[in-house]
């Protein structure tokens, strides 16, 4: 089941990132500036955070296969709406809907430790996250290639067909997955605050996720504008092709999970932060050379995957009965960071260009390093949730 879950998570999460290499083309279609075009990326990230809040706690409430089937069907409809959008603001609304329904990804991910042997939770998360991360990165590549051939609208329509295919696949392949300890939906939502308050590790991981993803998403939100600038004069296909570079970094997910099992996730988290800092420095200093841009994104993606696997290994070990809600708290913070990173870095690009984007990325990582340094070394010492 782990490889199948990896493919399903990759297909669902890719829907969030199809728009990134298309932003320049979309801006031209609707005759808007690059800063306004970045609103689409922000809308998708905010929708995703809202979907995680509304739907992911249901993984601790109702049978999960049926929930996944419904959300895969819904995200397909949202993608069709985006592909047919007659105006910019309707596209923004469709992007919010894509984000909301693509939250099915984080109903899938917490299933991984349930299928793992004791002591192998990091490895299981790493397998599923490899698929998820390849979906993030190769989704951009596919979007750029399809847009170059058929236009940006075709990207969303092709994506709708591919996600709709998972409705019968899940019905056939997935077993029934009842929650470990069913509870009422209202109680599940109310318990999110208690989880954040009682679990210091969850608070630390959430703060780290917010800051690191705000940094990471700044690169991908502005890459299409950078490559389309007078310096490079490249289109959507070139922007999407950088997903292939990042895909090499996604392969680190499974080894990172094993290292987190062996040495502890705090150690691998520090390594991920160091790689992220190195990646942004390369992008800032050498980003106007194609080789420097390629090298920087490879290092950046390896660091991001290492950080994410480490964080999720830590939080999933806190409580089996509350994994979906724990993941809800963490991923809301994570994608709020993505929304902030998309919005502010788009403004930085419009005013200060690539240097402004790079300084923003490094500033967020500096704050993440400070948070990691003052964080508690305890990994799972907080009390187990009883609800």
Cα 385 from Cα 151, distance rounded (Å) = 49
| Boundaries of every domain in the chain | 2-374
Cα 259 from Cα 76, distance rounded (Å) = 36
User: Which residues, including other chains, have CB under 8 Å from residue 292's CB and lie 6 or more apart?
Assistant: 282, 283, 285, 286
Task: Identify the segments of the chain with pLDDT beneath 70.
Answer: 34-35, 116-122, 180, 182, 246-254, 256-258, 260-261, 263, 376-387
Predicted local distance difference test score (pLDDT) of residue 380: 41
Any alpha helices (H) in 84-165, and if so which ranges?
A: 88-101, 105-108, 121-150, 152-164
Predicted local distance difference test score (pLDDT) of residue 384: 43
Q: Indicate the length of the chain as a whole number.
A: 387
Alpha-carbon distances of 221 from 84, 213, 259, rounded to whole Å: 22, 12, 30
Q: Tell me which residue has tokens 């995200």.
A: 75
Q: Is the dihedral of CA 4, 298, 152, 338 positive or negative?
A: positive
Cα 164 from Cα 136, distance rounded (Å) = 18
Could you name the CATH architecture of 2-374? Up-down Bundle (1.20)
Q: Please list, residue by residue across 107-121, b when 16 or more beta carbons sit within 10 angstroms of its beta carbon and e when fewer do.
A: bbbbbbbeebeeebb
CA nearest to 205, candidates 163, 260, 275, 281: 260
């Amino acid at each position: 089941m782990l490889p199948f879950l990896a493919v399903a998570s990759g297909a669902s999460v890719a829907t969030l990132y199809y728009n990134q290499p298309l932003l320049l083309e979309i801006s031209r279609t609707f005759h808007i500036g690059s800063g306004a075009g970045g609103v689409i990326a922000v809308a998708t990230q905010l929708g995703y955070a809202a979907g995680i809040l509304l739907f992911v706690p249901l993984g601790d409430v109702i049978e999960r296969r049926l929930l996944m089937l419904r959300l895969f069907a819904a995200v397909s409809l949202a993608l069709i709406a985006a592909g047919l959008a007659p105006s910019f603001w309707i596209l923004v609304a469709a992007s919010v809907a894509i984000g909301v329904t693509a939250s099915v990804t984080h109903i899938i991910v917490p299933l991984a430790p349930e299928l793992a042997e004791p002591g192998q939770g990091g490895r299981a998360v790493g397998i599923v996250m490899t698929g998820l991360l390849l979906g993030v990165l190769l989704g951009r590549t596919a979007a750029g290639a399809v847009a170059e051939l058929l236009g940006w609208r075709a990207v969303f329509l092709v994506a709708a067909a591919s996600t709709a295919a998972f409705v019968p696949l899940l019905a056939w392949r997935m077993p029934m997955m009842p929650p470990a300890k069913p509870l009422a939906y209202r109680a599940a939502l109310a318990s999110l605050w208690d989880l954040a308050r009682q679990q210091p590790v969850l608070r630390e991981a959430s703060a780290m996720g917010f800051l690191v993803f705000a940094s990471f998403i700044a690169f991908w939100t502005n890459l299409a504008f950078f490559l389309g600038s007078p310096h490079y004069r490249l289109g959507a296909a070139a922007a999407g092709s950088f997903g292939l570079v990042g895909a090499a970094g996604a392969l680190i997910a499974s080894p990172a999970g094993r290292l987190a099992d062996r040495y502890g996730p705090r150690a691998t988290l520090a390594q991920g932060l160091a790689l992220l800092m190195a990646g942004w420095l390369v992008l800032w200093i050498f980003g106007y050379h194609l080789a420097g841009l390629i090298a920087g994104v490879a290092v950046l993606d390896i660091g991001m995957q290492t950080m994410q696997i480490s964080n999720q290994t830590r939080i999933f070990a806190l409580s089996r009965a509350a994994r979906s809600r724990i993941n809800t708290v963490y991923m809301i913070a994570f994608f709020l960071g993505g929304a902030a990173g998309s919005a502010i870095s788009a403004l930085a690009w419009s005013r200060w260009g690539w240097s402004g984007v790079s300084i923003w990325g490094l500033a967020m990582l500096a704050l993440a390093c400070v948070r990691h340094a003052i964080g508690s070394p305890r990994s799972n010492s907080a009390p187990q949730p009883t609800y």
